[in-house]
Amino acid sequence: MTRVPPTVEWSSEDGGVVRMIDQTRLPEQLLMLDCQDVECVAQAIERLSVRGAPAIGCAAALGMALAAHRSDATDTASLRGDLAAARDRLAATRPTAVNLFWALGEMDRVLDQYREAEIAQVREALLARAEEIVQDDLQRCMAIGRNALDLIPQGANILTHCNAGALATAGYGTALGVIRAAHEAGREIHVWVDETRPLLQGARLTAWELCAEGIPATLITDNMAGYVMGQGRVDCVVVGSDRIAANGDVANKIGTYTVAVLAGRHDIPLYVAAPVSTIDYDLASGDLIPIEERDHAEVSMLAHRVETAVCPDVAIYNPAFDVTPSDLVSAIITEKGVAVAPYAESLAAMRD
């Protein structure tokens, strides 16, 4: 079994770095990327070296600690200036995953609490909170897995989309946390892994994680999901989320909505697994969720390697996420329990 290092963490080597698995290199190579400044962390988030909503939040929190650590400010006013710039840079990386903004908000709270403190104390407090966010995320994922156990029967065939695994979180995963917990509880499950175009997070990352755990899995291309559902070979769908609106509408990797419609057509339950930090209580519904649009080359090429759209005049559209309306969601599993419709009430009851 491959021993997988933490997705993202603080290392005190080289005077303090944010260390992460470079997910753009998987599955061919398991390489670590050490960031020595906040620009490196921001670029790593943008190019998906670190990705997945909770992991982006962890990286941003550690990025703020790094900015404080590396700042050469000699007075607190200049330190605050450096940190405001770092915050703006990190906040501009990816718009959809609310965990990014949640984590930056948590770091702002530390700054408020330490308004009168010395520079060294501010640095220490920011790092302590960032490391706590990482540890908390791992615990939350494990709780999500435990809370889902009653939903995953013995012998279940589970379809998942994108990667909501250890790589997308501080460890264990949300959707894959549900799958891991069922496997650890002795359920003989099997996972259908959607390849997840354009960037193949399913093929490259989810299949890799499941293989490492010895969990039986079958890789399919995204357009095969309806066929295997029609064959009666899928018992439930479990996905993660980047942002959940207060009414239970769910933003997740592009293609999730398609899977949800197909699941609805075949009476297959669709479960969303996410920590409470993914719920945006300020957004009434999913149509308000900002959807990231990414580089056209992700669509016109396969894995940045082979050009597939040879006509230079063809228009390209590359939304990275879509929104599944809450009526297609059977339950939202969080670390606090299982929410069902009406979501406005059940999610409100979970608010931290």
Judged by the rule CB under 6 A, the positions of this chain that interact with ligand MRU are 48, 51-54, 97, 162, 164, 168-169, 174, 201, 240-242, 252-253, 320
Told to judge if 327 belongs to the known catalytic residues of this protein, a careful annotator would answer no
Nearer to ligand MRU, 162 or 333 (CB): 162
Exposure of 275 in the CB half-sphere (CA atoms within 13 A):
33
Minimum Å gap between C-beta 44 and ligand MRU is 12
| Torsion region of 154: left, alpha or beta (phi above 0 gives left; psi -120 to 50 gives alpha) | beta
> What are 155's two structure tokens?
């012998």
Please state the three-class secondary structure of 193-235 as a single string: EECCCCCCHHHHHHHHHHHHHCCCEEEECHHHHHHHHHCCCCC
Nearer to ligand MRU, 241 or 330 (CB): 241
* C-alpha pair distances (Å), 48 with each of 53, 168, 304: 11, 10, 13
Minimum Å gap between C-beta 231 and ligand MRU is 25
Nearer to ligand MRU, 252 or 334 (CB): 252
Q: What is the DSSP code string of 79-142?
A: HHHHHHHHHHHHHTS-SS-HHHHHHHHHHHHHHHHTTTS-HHHHHHHHHHHHHHHHHHHHHHHH
Minimum Å gap between C-beta 119 and ligand MRU is 34
- One-letter amino acid at 129 equals R
Contact present, 42 and 27 (Cβ < 8 Å): no
* Residue found by looking up tokens 């695994």 in the block: 165
Secondary structure class of 312 (helix, strand, coil): coil
| Number of residues written out for the chain | 352
Nearer to ligand MRU, 71 or 174 (CB): 174
Minimum Å gap between C-beta 69 and ligand MRU is 26
Nearer to ligand MRU, 71 or 252 (CB): 252
Q: Which residue number has the CB closest to ligand MRU?
A: 240
Residue 106 neighbours by CB distance under 10 Å:
20
Choose the catalytic residue: 242, 249, 280, 322: 242
Minimum Å gap between C-beta 168 and ligand MRU is 3
Residue 237 neighbours by CB distance under 10 Å:
29
Minimum Å gap between C-beta 51 and ligand MRU is 3
CB proximity list for 207: less than 8 A, separation 6 or greater: 27, 193, 217, 219
Nearer to ligand MRU, 240 or 286 (CB): 240
Query: Which residues on neighbouring strands pair with residue 307, listed in sequence order?
Result: 301
Minimum Å gap between C-beta 304 and ligand MRU is 14
Nearer to ligand MRU, 111 or 274 (CB): 274
Q: State how far the Cα of 64 lies from the Cα of 70, in Å rounded to an integer.
A: 10
Which residues are the active-site residues?
Answer: 242
